[in-house]
Amino acid sequence: MENFESWTVANEVIASIPFTFGYCPRESLVVTCCSVEPGVLRIGASARLDLGAAVGPGAADSLAQVLAVLARTNDDAAIATVFTDREPGRWVRNVLEVLSEHWPFTFHGGCYVVSGEWIHGFSADGVSLGVEDALELATTTIAMSHPACEFVQSPEDYRFRRTVEGTTTAMIAADLGTPADTVRASALFQTELRRGGPTTTADTAILLRALEDVAFRDGVLAWLLAGQPADVEDFSAVDVEAALGTSSRPDSQLLERAYGALSRIARFAPTGRAAAPLALAAYLAWYAGDGTRARILSEQAIGEDPDYALTRLVARALAHACPPPWFGTDAA
């Protein structure tokens, strides 16, 4: 393992993290892969761990698991970033010692502690690299290349809102008791996806009932992951394997629209009936490499129906740190 120290590279990596996760991590350790060549910085995959797990009992096992997942990439370097309100101290060196024991990369870019208004830099050996103002992050190429945007305040903001009281009777009376009309539901889903999700009880009930049909749900899943290639007459008739074809990173903007539509479908579902849209959203998030969102939504889906097969599949993938199919070749 060789050390490399560069505040320029570190600031670019740190600035990329909120855009990678969709929120600003708190009390977290993030390891970000990268490849550094003369004049070129390629930022790869990132993995986050609660800081408590990185400094508490069992820290070695937790950090080793995170690094083992990232080792599947083709990157030759990585940088550790800590987001915390703590003042840097001996705990930073303890973290670096454990990281160095299990470091799978050729190069180690050190550890940078983002605390309040300051960034404290440390080499892989724990030697201080000085302090910089966190405002430097706003001038990085990464930050300036992204349009102005807002991040969620907490990962919990990914949780779908549920408003069950007073809606169950209306939903059941609308359409939940009848067999799914998958052709009608297919046209409706595609229309409502463009509009942000259903706004009437009747339409919500039609889509909820259709998503409980496994063939329909999987057809929607494949169509979304394939990038919405064409209008579909009946999602239940989609050839899922053919639709997915070669695995690639899904369209993030399309998935955001899908999360919005699925959230509306789940919101007013009777207790125990929201598992299908929640599990579908959790799978989409896992496939997109958004492990935090996938975990939040899969836990919520388990609360609705712990035996729902797709939920259990996502939960197992997360528990074993299984990456999505495209991860090995497109982890940029």
Residuewise pLDDT in 10s, the chain (332 residues):
888 888 999 999 999 888 887 778 889 999 999 987 777 788 888 888 889 889 888 889 989 988 998 888 888 999 999 999 988 999 999 999 999 999 999 999 999 999 988 999 999 999 999 999 988 887 788 777 766 555 555 667 888 988 866 555 555 555 555 677 899 999 999 999 988 888 888 888 899 999 999 999 999 999 999 887 788 999 999 988 887 766 788 888 899 999 999 999 998 888 888 999 999 999 999 998 888 889 999 999 999 999 999 999 999 988 877 878 876 544 33
In a domain, 9, yes or no: yes
134 and 167 housed in the same domain: no
Residue from 287, 295, 294, 293 nearest 247 by CA: 287
The answer to whether the beta carbons of residues 211 and 275 sit under 8 Å apart is no
168 and 122 housed in the same domain: no
165 and 133 housed in the same domain: no
Convert the pLDDT of each residue in 35-58 to its tens digit. Answer: 877 777 888 888 888 898 898 888
82 contact partners, CB below 8 Å, separation of at least 6: 28, 29, 30, 51, 54, 92, 95, 111, 112, 113, 114
Number of domains within the chain: 2
126 and 168 housed in the same domain: no
Domain enclosing residue 33, as ranges: 2-150
283 and 309 housed in the same domain: yes
180 and 246 housed in the same domain: yes
In a domain, 19, yes or no: yes
Torsion sign across C-alpha atoms 233, 235, 237, 239: positive
Token digits of residue 256:
């955001």
State whether residue 58 is helix, strand or coil.
coil
Distance CA 52, CA 49 (A): 8
Convert the pLDDT of each residue in 216-247 to its tens digit. Answer: 999 999 999 988 778 899 999 998 888 776 67
140 and 175 housed in the same domain: no
* Tokens 């007013």 found at: 268
* Tokens 């479908």 found at: 265
**Final residue belonging to a domain, choices 126, 150, 174:** 150
Distance CA 177, CA 193 (A): 24
123 and 170 housed in the same domain: no
Q: How many CB atoms lie within 10 A of CB 322?
A: 14
CA distances from 60 to 93, 122, 186, 300 (A): 13, 19, 49, 29
**How much is the pTM?**
0.64
DSSP helix, strand, coil percent of the chain (3-state; round to 5): 50, 15, 35
In a domain, 331, yes or no: no
In a domain, 330, yes or no: no
In a domain, 332, yes or no: no
164 and 199 housed in the same domain: yes
In a domain, 99, yes or no: yes
The answer to whether the beta carbons of residues 251 and 228 sit under 8 Å apart is yes
99 and 168 housed in the same domain: no
Residue from 158, 231, 160 nearest 189 by CA: 231
**Final residue belonging to a domain, choices 150, 176, 203:** 150
- By the 10 Å C-beta count (0-12 exposed, 13-18 middle, 19+ buried), 319 is classed as exposed
CA distances from 238 to 16, 242, 279 (A): 37, 8, 19
7 and 81 housed in the same domain: yes
The answer to whether the beta carbons of residues 25 and 19 sit under 8 Å apart is no
In a domain, 272, yes or no: yes
**Final residue belonging to a domain, choices 110, 131, 150:** 150
- By the 10 Å C-beta count (0-12 exposed, 13-18 middle, 19+ buried), 37 is classed as exposed
Q: How many CB atoms lie within 10 A of CB 249?
A: 16
Token digits of residue 83:
């987001």
In a domain, 66, yes or no: yes
80 and 163 housed in the same domain: no
Distance CA 318, CA 295 (A): 7
CATH number of the domain within which 129 lies: 3.40.140
The neighbouring-strand residues paired with 111 are: 80, 122
Q: How many CA within 13 A on the CB side of residue 158?
A: 23
Enclosing H/E stretch for 28: strand 28-37
